Chains A and B, each alone.
Chain A
C-alpha cells in the first residue's frame, strides 16, 4: 500500500489506476486510442482537452460503463478490464457525469440514500432495518456537506441546475470513494458557484484520489497537481499545472474556446 500522504508519483509506489494501451472505438469513430496512464493514491489529476477529445469515453472505460476495445484497466492492483461497473464500486470507484444523472422522482435525501446503500450492499432488502437509520444519517450528512442541507426533502426534479451539480458530487461521495472521478463538475455553474466548488475540491481528504475533467482552467489548474492533456483520443501533453500554462500546444488547442488559462 502506498502512503496516501505521498502526493503523486512517489517512486516505487504502485499506481491505484493503471491504463495500458487503452483504445475505444464506436464504429468508425476512434474515441480513445493508445492511452497509458498511471494515477497514484492521493493524487489530484486533471484531464483536459477540447470537445470530443475522448475524456468522457476514457472515464467510462475506467468506471466500467463499457469495456475498452483495446488495452487493460487495472484498479488498485486488480485487472478489471472486463468487469462491469458494479464490480468496481466495492473497490471504491465512484464518478459524476457531465450531464447530471439523478433520480428525478426521488428527494435529494433519497438520492443520496440510494447512493449510500449502493456502496453498503443489501440492494434487494425489502425491509427497513435499524441500520437504515445510520445510512439515512450518512446520506443527510453528505447532503449538508455538498451544500444541499436546506433542500434535502425536495424532489430532485425541482432543484436548480447548480444544486443538481452539487448533488452529482454528493452521489459520488456517498459511495465511500477511494477514486473519485468528476466529469466537468463546473459545467454550467455561475462564477460564485465555481469558487465554492473549487474550495470543496481542495478540501477533499487525501485518502480520496481525484481525477477531474474540466474545461474551466481556473478550476482545473487550481485543484490539480498533475495534468493530462488529450486531443483526438490521444494523450498529447502531461505535466504540472505550471508546465501546462506555459505549453504552446495547450494554448493552440484551447485557442478560440474562450478558455485562455493565461494569467
Chain B
C-alpha cells in the first residue's frame, strides 16, 4: 500500500496525467481507449465496491448498467425504444439512475441473504434475466437496439470533441473513487465490511444485516448506473448485446485483473483490458481470436497473482519496503485498512 502521506501526491499526479493525456494523444485514442477505459472502470468499480467491502462477487452489474442505459434511451428522443417521454437529457439521466437504484435494491433484497457461490448465481441470473427482458421487449430496446440517443449539449459531440465527454468520465471516476474511499470509513461502510468478515457477530452487535446489505447493493447499482449513463452519453446507442454474457464476463475479468480487493484496480484493469482489446486485433496472429487471447492473458495474470495487478504491486512494495508494524497507519486510522485487506 502507498504510505498514507504519499497517497494525495500520487493521486494528484495520476489525475494530472489523466488531464494532459487527451491533448497529447489522438482523438481516436481519447475516445476509444481513455474514455472507454474510464466508463468500464466505473462499471468495474461497482463490482469491486461490493467485492472489497462486502465480500460479494456480483455478476449482475452489467445488467444494472444496461438498465440505466436503456432507461436513458427510452426517456429521451432516440431512434428505437419508447417514444412517449421525450424528456430533457438531465431529467432522463436522474430518473434513469433512480430506476437503476430501485432495481438494485430489489435484487439486493433477494440476494442479500446469500453468500459466495449462491450470491454469484443469483446475481448472474438477474444479469441474464435483464438482458433477456430487453431482448424480448423490443418496445423498450428497439429492433437492433436504441440508436442516436441525444447527448447533453454542453459536451458537444462525442465524435468531434472527444475530450469533453472524456473529462466528464474522469470527473465521475474521481467522484466514485473518493466516494467509495470515504464510504469505507463511515459507520455504514464499516458495518458493511463487518458483515463481510462476520455476519453473526454483526447481528449480535445489533445490526440489521439484511437491510445493510440490501442498501449497499443499491449503492453498487448506483455506481453501475453511472457507468451505464456515461456509456450512452458517449456511445449514443445501446442494444441487448451491450449487456450479454460476453461483456458480463469481460467486466468480471477487468475487476479481477485490476484486483478485486482495491478500488483503484477497477480503472487499472479497465485500461489494460481496453488497450489489449484494441491492440490485439491488429496483431496478425490474433486477428479475430481476441477473446481467446484475452482469456489467456487473464489466466496468466490470475495465476501470477490472485490479487490481480494491484496484488502484484502490493506484494512488490511490501517486499521493497518491509514497513515496521503500524508505520502507514495514521492516528485517525484514516485509510489504514480500507478498503479491505489485499487477499492474504
- Point out residues on A near B: beta carbons under 8 Å: 63, 65, 84-86, 89-90, 94-95, 97, 101-107, 109-111, 113-115, 117-119, 121-128, 132, 136, 153-155, 157, 171, 175
Contact of B200 among A65, A109, A115, A155 (CB under 8 A): A65
Q: Assess whether B337 is in contact with A175, with CB atoms less than 8 Å apart.
A: no
Q: Tell me if B's interface is mostly helix, strand, loop or mixed.
A: helix
- Decide yes or no: A95 and B333 within 8 Å by CB, A103-B194, A106-B197, A126-B183 being known contacts: no
The interface bits of chain B over 189-201 (1 if a CB of A lies within 8 angstroms of the residue's CB, else 0) are: 1110110111011
B197 touches A102 (CB 8 A): yes
Interface Cβ pair total, 8 Å cutoff = 120
Contacts of A106 in B (CB 8 A): 190, 193-194, 197, 337
In the bound complex, residues from chain A placing their C-beta under 8 Å from that of B193 are 103, 105-106
Do B337 and A105 have beta carbons less than 8 Å apart?
A: yes
| Stretch from B95-103, B205-213, B266-274 at the A interface | B205-213
* B208 and A123 form a contact (CB under 8 A): yes
Known: A65-B203, A103-B198, A114-B191. 10 other contacts (CB 8 A): A101-B201, A102-B201, A104-B198, A106-B193, A107-B336, A117-B191, A124-B188, A124-B215, A125-B186, A154-B329
Q: From residue A137, how far is it (CB to closest CB) to chain B in Å?
A: 11
Q: Which residues of B contact A121 (CB under 8 A)?
A: 206
A61 CB to nearest B CB, Å: 13
Q: Which 5 A-B pairs have the closest CB atoms?
A: A118-B205, A89-B206, A153-B329, A103-B197, A101-B201
Nearest-neighbour CB distance to chain B for A121, whole angstroms, equals 8
- Chain B residues contacting A114 (CB-CB under 8 Å) are 187, 190-191, 194, 202, 205
Whether B340 sits at the interface, judged by CB under 8 Å, is: yes
Tell me how far the C-beta of A122 lies from the nearest C-beta in chain B, rounded to whole angstroms: 6
Other-chain contact of B187, A94, A105, A122, A157 (Cβ < 8 Å): A122
In the complex, A104 Cα to B185 Cα: how many Å? Answer: 16
- Sample of 19 A–B contacts (CB below 8 Å): A102-B198, A103-B196, A103-B201, A105-B197, A106-B193, A106-B337, A107-B329, A107-B333, A118-B205, A123-B208, A125-B186, A136-B333, A153-B326, A153-B329, A153-B333, A153-B336, A154-B325, A171-B201, A171-B205
**Most chain A CB within a 10 A radius of its CB, from B193, B325, B326, B337:** B337
Q: Given the complex of chains A and B, what is the CA–CA distance between A118 and B207 in angstroms? A: 6
Contacts A126-B186, A136-B332, A153-B333 given; does A65 touch B194 at CB 8 Å: no
Give the chain A neighbours of B182 by CB distance below 8 A. 128
Q: Which residues of B contact A104 (CB under 8 A)?
A: 197-198, 341
Min Cβ gap A255→B in Å is: 34
Q: Do the beta carbons of B187 and A117 come within 8 Å of each other?
A: yes
Tell whether, in the assembled complex, residue A86 and residue B196 are in contact, meaning their CB atoms are under 8 Å apart.
no
In angstroms, Cα B188 to Cα A178, docked, is 25
Residues B197 and A63 in contact, CB atoms below 8 Å apart = no
Q: Which residues of A contact B189 (CB under 8 A)?
A: 126
Return chain A residues, CB-CB under 8 Å to B212.
Answer: 123-124
Please, which residues of chain B bring their CB within 8 A of the CB of A122?
Answer: 187
